[in-house]
Amino acid sequence: MGGLTGKAGIVTGGSSGIGFQIANVLAEDGAAVYVVSRTGRPKEDMGESVPGVTHLKGDVGDRAEMERLAAELAGKHGGALDFLVNNAGVSHKCRAEDFPMDRFDQILDVNVKYVFEMSVVCYPYLKKSPGRGRIINITSMSAHLGFSEVVPYCASKGAVLAMTRALAVEWAADNLCVNSIAPGWFRSKMTEQVVDPAREAKILSRMPFHDYGDTRDLGAMAKFLCGEGASYITGQDFAVDGGALAFGY
């Protein structure tokens, strides 16, 4: 039996990439994982999810829909949820002086506003979790480092990091741990949109391992943060980055 047996929670944006593998790793450790995405199913090139993962179609930007969904899922598990992984996110590559403001608004909505709303929606059920409910936000290297042509994305992830710390403090007395994971460079649909060969070479040269990571390592970090050994950890950001933040000159 895995350490998360009997636990249940939500992963947003888990139809591919990071969220897909986080959901798989949590389910392999015994959790009931509900993946909420726009498609309601894995993307074509991802294969099948492992047993224990249930894909649900939903719009994290629809507050009423998410309130109904969270109540329904909690009702299946004694009125409680044990974890929420806020993974859904978007980006757009463009120089700052040419950046379209409608895309700027979309990035801030999806990456910041909806993360906050999902946390608030799930809060009443997470605080009922035995041994403390867990919220895990996905930040980024861009919450710590500057990257050109994705300035609004950097701003959004810096905001998520600040939100993580503030919610951790505010909800500590309400039986919740709130932490974040900062992925380094992992192959995903999002990185494909913003990384060309020249940029890739520059990125990989700026880390000790000089290679992309395995998304299952992010799942392993999420599993730890959802587990019994992390009940005294809150307000922290965990870099899984091949040493990128440590790399000097």
Angle at CA 90, nearest 5°, toward 20 and 123? 70
Q: What angle do CA 162, 166, 168 make, to 5 degrees?
A: 115
Work out whether strand 8-12 and strand 32-37 pair parallel, antiparallel, or are unpaired: parallel
Angstrom distances, CA of residue 41 to CA of 36, 37, 49, 90, 140:
9, 7, 9, 18, 25
C-alpha distance across the termini of the chain, in Å: 46
CA distance 218 to 226: 12
Q: DSSP code of 110?
A: I
d(CA 131, CA 175): 8
Q: What is the DSSP string of 149-164?
A: T-HHHHHHHHHHHHHH
- Spatial contact of 137 and 112, defined as CB atoms under 8 Å apart: no
User: Catalytic site residue 153?
Assistant: yes
Do residues 132 and 177 make contact, with C-beta atoms less than 8 angstroms apart?
yes
Amino acid at 146: G
- Fill in the DSSP letter of residue 39: S
153, 212, 232, 249: the active-site residue: 153
Tell me how far apart the alpha carbons of residues 214 and 234 are, in angstroms, rounded to a whole number. Answer: 25
Q: Among all residues, which ones are annotated catalytic?
A: 153
